[in-house]
A and B are shown apart, each in its own frame.
Chain A
Amino acid sequence: MLESPSLFGYFIGAVQALTLVVLAPLFTGIMRKVKSRTQKRIGASVLQPYYDLAKLNRKDEVVSDQSSWIFRFAPIVILTSTATAAVFVPAFLPSSPFGIAGDILVVLGLFALARFFTILAGLDVASSFGGLGASREMTISAIVEPALFLTIFVVSLNLGGTNLSTIVSASSAQFASGVIILPSMLFALIAFFVIMMAETGRIPFDNPATHLELTMIHEAMVLEYSGRSLAMIQLSQSIKLAVLMTIFVNIFVPAGMSTAAGGAYAAVGVVVFVVKLALVAAMVAFTETRVAKWRFFRLPDLLAVAIASSMLGIIYFYFWR
């Protein structure tokens, strides 16, 4: 059981979470930039997502006459739950003082809450697009779940629990002692990467840039949003991506994570964190340009690969512990 941190600890934790939230659109910008460069385009500035948010926040909104309070309420719930998830995630420090209140299952539960309201908002506007996106989203999220649980299982077996602070500290301590990655964690890494692509709606699952109705999933659900509500939803998308990438780097690639407390360590931690996350963002974006979007009914196969990989991780752990 973790001891209760001091008031200063909470302050540091809040700063950490706020940094993650504030930097989130930057990583989205980096991904877009990498994608355009690999496609021989110049692309917009990496700061474009911030400009978009600022602009959208100043625009008037158009709301469908068919919608109910669910539609107006959903962006607030979506933003609140994804931003709260960021609070529990250790980013550049090996622990979050709020870890006492939530672990990785809570983070995923909050994402599920956001998804629940996104799907309802999609259904609320009474158009076929919304229903289409809702139907696909709820199917993918249902079949992602088993892969996700198994990955957590492997991580929890190897690193001793589901508390994110414990996991990340254990992982960085292990790295400091010279172990780059354990074999069973390697299987979990493969699975988690697939899950990350599915959860954040990247190619081959969904194309975040598309507005072609036949292929879109997430965009179809939020098609009716405009103005401030759209800004909230775009920000939450960025935060979700950043949070999942943070969990990914801090669990599987703990290199450079500061293990001691103190101002200088934290400063180094921030730099290392931003660089690592930018690299992962570039990797995700590069992967996206190398694969085509898969046919919807082939996606279960991809998720089955993730399930199989993490199952191998579990079996590896039990046999060669």
Chain B
Amino acid sequence: MIFTDNYSGLFLTAIVLLLAGAAASLALRRGRMGSIASFVPAFGASVLLIAFSVMVITSQSKLQTSDAFWSSIPELSIDLYVDGMSAFFLLILGLVTLAVSIYSIGYCSHYNRDSRSLGFLFNLFVLSMVIVIASNSVFSFLIFWELMSLSSFFLVIYEHEEELNIRSGMMYLIMTHIGTAFILASFLALFVQTGSLSFDSFRNHALPMPHYIRDIAFILAFIGFGAKAGLVPLHIWLPKAHPSAPSNISALMSAVMVKVAIYGLVRTTFDFAAPSTAEDVWWGVTLIIAGSASSIIGILYAAVENDIKRALAYSTIENVGVIVLGIGISAVFQSFHLASLAAFALLASMYHSLNHATFKSLLFMGAGSVVFSTHTKNIEKLGGLIKKMPWTALLFLIGAIAISGLPPLNGFVSEWLLLQSFLSSYHIPSLALQVLISLAGVVIALTIGLTLATFVKIFGITFLARPRSEAAKSSHEVPRTMLAGMAMTAAMCVILGIMPVIATSLISNSFRLDGNQLPQTLSPFAALAAPAGASSNMSPGSLALMLGCVGAFAIGVFSIGGRKTTRRIYSTWDCGFEGLDERMQYTASALSQPIRVIFRTLYKPYSDSEVSYFSESNHYLKKNARVEVYTRDLFDDLFYRPVTRATIAVLDAVRKMQTGKINAYLMYIMIALIALLVYAGVSR
């Protein structure tokens, strides 16, 4: 395999390292040495991948295999190609893998089971994602796409003693293959036109492609990649599969695998079937509608979820929605030839992809640490962990602030950019679209509000107040390698938050965006500016500096103004009632109750309550009361269940044909033969 450029050594060494890691983890036994053998090569590989992708992006070069690996059959070649777009997603992959592999050393060596297969699959999973992103032909793309799906499937069912995990895994396997089928169909549509399975021919489409072919290719790719990314209504596997996997794998699946699907979507939308005329505007509209629906539905379910990992998984659906929405706005702008606005929206969307990779991996690793220490994913049983696990709590808090889109961390920057691209929608020469985009803006604003509610709840209930169970009381801080992994992503959240120029220049180089909107200097205090025509700007670096100054000034004023005071520790005010205990605190379900009531049409909440009395004749004196609240998944009820039922009914009807009698089968053959002869006769 020969690359035509200089940095290929880094890429190939990374692949070799991942293969070596896979081999080493099978060879070595469990325990600390085993963990080191599996995850240190992955760490090394991710360092190399980061270096490689940064070099490709900054030098604006492209890497391509000069001759196919197995050149005897050109269609079946493993043909690699890395341009800025691939390199950007490789960078995301590298950054997350860097942190997750460090985290995994501690996480897996304490796993009280054989972690050999985990290390093997981990390396294979990362490897397959690398090659999917770098693929340049349908064959290698799909082979490694399938390897990615299968290795992650085995990771989802890694803890296979629990039946629930097997069920989630099966659902994942089915949904991911439906997605793969659509992706294959999309590529075939392009193949029919270009006559080649190489991405080069898709990209260059020598013959001008007819409209309908591009439309078909786009919509099939949208469904296929949408299923993998977890877009509503194809999301149902995601909140089941992500929590079932071990937490380091959840982090990779949520932060990276979903981005590989986004990569596929961006590649097909903008590279293979680029929207260029006003007729293509429905692509963008489709993406906007799907993105808004995913974001609001994802976060609404996350807000009422009490399983920490499932809530994070639902929030991934929300973030994917936000990213797809940005891509959609960009596509709409592009259809109307508003190039710099399209570039700006794509910048916002890709910035959010990068940000989501950092804070979601941080939060999943944090959730993993909580589960590691308390053995429960249910936040109702937690509380007070901030005292037992202070570092985990601090790092998780950084992730929660970042994902809630609060300044001065990175979530705020990408949300600011996205809102600015909403606000520039008045350039679009279509009234209906202007109103549609402002409505999408309302949805996003509600999403942002609910995200804050969700993460305040998750952090507050898990880490603050009194512990609600023995498990929470006896929790302990996690090993240093795990903290180090989280600290890396937390640092990225801060850096991407206060120095957005790093990300904006990387993204504009990767996607060859129209750079005139972006700050040209690398000063951390440079301002981000909205697209031309509107005066809007902000500088996160200066904002952070200002927060520091104002904070110092305020503390100064208050300490000079007052005399020296003391701080007395006393119990929480209990209205003179004596003895507050952990059961009198607000629970997670109680905290999200108003949201459940306001959006009850969606949740259809139902509860299960049980009250016992001191005496059956007097119902005023309650002895015990217990209530459990559940919510329903609308899509399960209204879409998947009917579809499943209908499928089973059809298959039942079909099964009646299979009688087991030879003469019946002979009759079928006879009928088929006659039908074919008639068809042949008619068509001639």
B570 touches A (CB below 8 Å): yes
Q: Indicate whether A219 reaches chain B with its CB closer than 8 angstroms.
A: no
Q: Known contacts A76-B555, A84-B550; decide if A62 and B568 are in contact (CB<8 Å).
A: yes
A80 interface residue per 8 A CB criterion: yes
Is B466 an interface position by the 8 A CB rule?
A: yes
Asked if A105 lies at the interface with its beta carbon under 8 angstroms from chain B, I say yes
CB neighbours of A183 from chain B (8 A)? none
Closest to A150 in B: B442
Q: How far is the CA of A59 from the CA of B525 in the complex (A)?
A: 40
Determine the chain A residues whose CB is within 8 A of the CB of B566 once the complex forms: 60-61
Q: Are A101 and B594 in contact (CB under 8 A)?
A: no
Q: Is residue A296 contacting chain B, with contact meaning CB distance below 8 A?
A: yes
> Which residues on the A side are within 8 Å of B401 (C-beta)?
113, 116
A39 to B503, CA, bound (A): 57
| Complex CA distance for A134 and B592, rounded to whole angstroms | 10
Q: Which of B404, B542, B570 contacts A65 (CB 8 A)?
A: B570
A206 at interface (Cβ–Cβ under 8 A)? no
Q: How far is the CA of A67 from the CA of B273 in the complex (A)?
A: 57
Residues facing B in A89-142 (CB within 8 A) are: 98-103, 105-106, 109-110, 112-113, 115-116, 119-120, 123-132, 134-136, 138-139, 141-142
Contact between B464 and A138 (Cβ–Cβ < 8 Å)?
A: no
Q: Report whether B465 and A101 are in contact in the complex, using a CB–CB cutoff of 8 Å.
A: no
Whether A256 is near chain B, meaning CB under 8 Å from some CB there, is: no
Contact of B543 among A2, A101, A314 (CB under 8 A): A101
| CB neighbors of A among B400-423 (8 A) | 401, 404-407, 412, 416, 419-420, 422-423
CA distance A318 to B435 in the complex (A): 9
A 35-76 to B, binary, CB cutoff 8 A, 1 in contact else 0:
000000000000000000010011111111111111000001
Q: Say yes or no: A300-B546 contact (C-beta < 8 A), given A123-B464, A142-B450, A162-B530.
A: no
Contact B595 A142 (CB under 8 A): yes
Segment at the B interface, from A223-231, A246-254, A268-276: A223-231
B445 interface neighbour in A149, A223, A232, Cβ under 8 Å: A149
Complex Cα spacing A231 to B404, Å: 27
Interface residues of B in 527-544 (CB under 8 A from A): 527, 529-530, 533-539, 542-543
Q: Which of A153-161, A173-181, A278-286 contacts B (4 or more CB under 8 A)?
A: A153-161
Interface of A is mostly: helix
Q: In the complex where A120-B464, A153-B422, A163-B536 touch, is A65 in contact with B554 (Cβ < 8 A)?
A: no
Query: Is the Cβ of B456 less than 8 Å from the Cβ of A145?
Result: no
Instruction: State A52–B456 Cα separation when bound (angstroms).
Output: 30
Contact pick for A138, options B387, B419, B456, B543, CB 8 Å? B456
Min C-beta distance of A304 to chain B, whole Å = 11
Expressed in whole angstroms, the minimum distance between the Cβ of A124 and any Cβ of chain B is 4
B426 contact set on A, CB distance < 8 A: 157, 318
Is B442's CB under 8 angstroms from A83's CB?
A: no
> Residue of A at shortest CB range from B303?
A142
B586 within 8 A of A: yes
Shortest B406–chain A CB gap in Å is: 4
Q: Check A160 against B535 for contact (C-beta < 8 Å).
A: yes
Contacts of B568 in A (CB 8 A): 60-63
Query: Which residue of the partner chain B has the closest CB to A319?
Result: B431
Is residue A87 contacting chain B, with contact meaning CB distance below 8 A? yes
Interface string of A293-321 (1 = CB under 8 A from B): 00011001000000100010011001100
A245 CB–B CB distance under 8 Å: no
Q: Given the complex of chains A and B, what is the CA–CA distance between A111 and B406 in angstroms? A: 9
Q: Using a CB-CB cutoff of 8 Å, which residues 380-439 of chain B contact chain A?
A: 384, 386-387, 393, 397, 401, 404-407, 412, 416, 419-420, 422-423, 426, 431, 434-435, 438
Is B452 close to A, CB under 8 A?
yes
Asked if A76 contacts B591 (CB within 8 A), the reply is: no
Interface size in chain A (residues, C-beta < 8 A): 89
Output the least CB separation between A117 and chain B (Å): 9
Contact with A along B557-582 (1 / 0, CB 8 A): 01001110111111111100000101
Tell me whether B551 is interfacial, beta carbon within 8 Å: yes
Asked whether A116 lies within 8 Å of B452 as measured between CB atoms, the reply is yes
Kindly identify, within residues 289 to 326 of chain B, every residue whose CB is under 8 Å from any CB belonging to chain A: none
Q: How far is the CA of A84 from the CA of B404 in the complex (A)?
A: 19
On chain B, the residues within 8 Å of A228 by CB distance are 558, 562, 565
Does any Cβ of A come within 8 Å of B460's Cβ?
yes
CB distance from A96 to the nearest CB of B (A): 12
Q: A63-B569, A101-B527, A132-B586 are known contacts. Are A145 and B591 too (CB-CB below 8 A)?
A: no
- Set of chain A residues within 8 Å of B536, measured between Cβ atoms: 103, 105, 156, 161-163, 166
A232 to B550, CA, bound (A): 13
Whether the pair A148, B445 counts as a contact (CB closer than 8 A) is yes
Cα–Cα distance between A148 and B593 once the two chains are bound (Å): 23
Q: Are B561 and A54 in contact, CB atoms less than 8 angstroms apart?
A: yes
Is the beta-carbon distance between A232 and B538 smaller than 8 angstroms?
Answer: no
B residues less than 8 Å from A149 (CB atoms):
419, 441-442, 444-445
A66 to B573, CA, bound (A): 11
Closest to B529 in A: A1
Interchain CB contact (< 8 A) of B441 among A101, A136, A150: A150
Q: Once bound together, how far apart are the Cα atoms of A231 and B405, in whole Å? A: 28
A115-B452, A296-B594, A297-B597 known; A153-B580 Cβ under 8 A: no
Alpha-carbon distance A107/B466, docked complex (angstroms): 34
A-side contacts of B460, CB under 8 Å: 119-120, 123-124, 134
Q: Which of A130, A141, A223 is B452 in contact with, Cβ under 8 Å?
A: A141
The interface residues of chain B lying within 8 Å CB-to-CB of A223 are 573
Instruction: Sort A-B residue pairs by CB-CB distance and give the 4 closest, nearest first.
Output: A131-B586, A145-B449, A149-B445, A142-B449
20 new A-B contacts, CB < 8 A, other than A64-B573, A224-B573, are A2-B537, A60-B565, A62-B567, A63-B569, A76-B554, A84-B546, A84-B547, A102-B543, A109-B405, A109-B412, A116-B404, A123-B460, A124-B465, A127-B574, A127-B585, A136-B594, A139-B594, A142-B453, A146-B443, A157-B423
A-B contact pairs, 24 of them (CB 8 A): A59-B565, A70-B386, A76-B555, A83-B550, A87-B550, A100-B542, A101-B542, A103-B536, A112-B406, A116-B404, A123-B456, A123-B586, A126-B572, A127-B574, A127-B580, A128-B585, A131-B586, A134-B586, A134-B591, A145-B445, A162-B530, A163-B536, A163-B537, A231-B558
